[in-house]
Amino acid sequence: MGNCEQRIQDCLSRIEAEDARIGAWEHVDAIGAMHRARELDGIEYAGHKGPLHGMAIGVKDIIDVAQLPTRCGSPIYATNIASADAACVALARAAGAIIIGKTVTTELATFVPARTKNPLNLEYTSGGSSAGSAAAVAAGMVPMAIGTQTAGSVIRPAAYCGVFGFKPTFGHVPREGVKLQSSILDTVGVFTRNISDTAKWYAAMTGASPAIETSTARLRIAVVTNLNEQANADMLTAVEHAIEALQSAGVHIERLRLPQAFDDAVRDQKIIQLAEGSKFYAPEYQDFRAQLNDDIAAVLEEGARIDSRDFMAAVARASILRIEADRSMGDFDCLLMPAAPGAAPHGFASTGDPLFSRVNSLLHQPAITLPIYKNTNGMPLGLQLIGARNQDRQLFTTAQRVFDAIKSNHHG
């Protein structure tokens, strides 16, 4: 058995053993994955392999994979089969990835909880809407899974499940073949178990170098305090521990309260997501209302009531604020803040609050979840680093240095 085939077999065995209790997978293509693995094992590469060679990948079930179902977590699409790969899937395959299957998403990638449980404790949510992708990576079923983010659907579930989650700069990864909720916000992202694999995925998507650059320059990090009143005590303690660890490593730290416009951006992100969601999901609402969750239908109705002038004003303010955010990032390597208000909520009534990611989703900034701390119940407390637009590779360098510094100076 070749290396790729063995890796895929290991993943399939893990899925068979674990997924009945976790519920991370919508569809597993064992035959197709094994066939592709054998194919890769039999190819002579003359020393050149793609950055994702032999990597087993799960794909969120709003993203098309040729000849596999795209059900979008909804009975409306129960029999829908994709005719072609989404662009991000095609790029992953071209880089040597092996698609194992489709991971569970919440209904139409919204806030209604899916069946997926948190692998670290089955009594807790794994987040949303990329629930299955985060859980599959956290459970060791695959080393990598693709997700999407409109508000916080990569950063938050990664934090809840204790894995790395990366949302690139808006527009860097193509969205063709993805079921969209918002043309202004939706971004394809990834879940991994290390930053190195995150950089390899980004390389496959964009053509950038897969290597993480090294640097010895003193890091300058701004700790954003704007939403601290919305974070619980465990999360605030984790932030303080991170500050202490980074300062011990020689990192320059400044606490930064961003101007009121950044607080107002939370409102504008909601306006844009609601208004665009009502338009993008108009076919489902108009033609299949009886098959929609009532809470989703109510949100679509709320979005339809937003005045077009309010929507355009929110779009205009966001455009201006992106420039201001670029300017404010000039003195820092990154911003640091919680990835969520706290650890994953207990139970399955909610997928958690995306509050801490709404603004950088609106501002199109790259962000990465760092799984470092845990609360007294042993559940992860994820921090996030936010970079400047179009500086994704620099964010990987910073994130690796920050992660290493905190781990080496953390004693609790």
Return the active site residues. 60, 129, 153
Greatest Cα pair distance, the chain, in angstroms, is 62
DSSP calls for 341-399: SSSPPBSSS-----HHHHHHHHTT--EEEEEEEE-TTS-EEEEEEE--TT-HHHHHHHH
d(CA 87, CA 63): 9
At 59, phi and psi to the nearest 5?
A: -130, 125
SS3 at position 131: helix
Alpha carbon 238 to chain centroid distance?
21
220 CB-contact burial (10 Å; exposed 0-12 / middle 13-18 / buried 19+): middle
Strands 98-103 and 25-28: antiparallel
Question: Are 154 and 103 within 8 A, CB to CB?
Answer: no
Distance spanning both ends of the chain, measured CA to CA: 43
**Residue 214 CB-density burial (10 A; 0-12 exposed, 13-18 middle, 19+ buried):** exposed
349 C-beta neighbours (distance < 10 Å), count: 8
| Sheet strands side by side (includes 334-338) | 25-28, 98-103, 56-60, 144-149, 187-192, 164-167, 367-374, 380-386, 334-338, 220-224, 252-256
CB-based burial of residue 140 (10 Å sphere; 0-12 exposed, 13-18 middle, 19+ buried)? Answer: middle
DSSP string computed for 77-98:
GTT-B-SS--HHHHHHHHTT-E
Distance CA 60, CA 103 (A): 5
**CA gap 3, 190 in Å, rounded:** 24
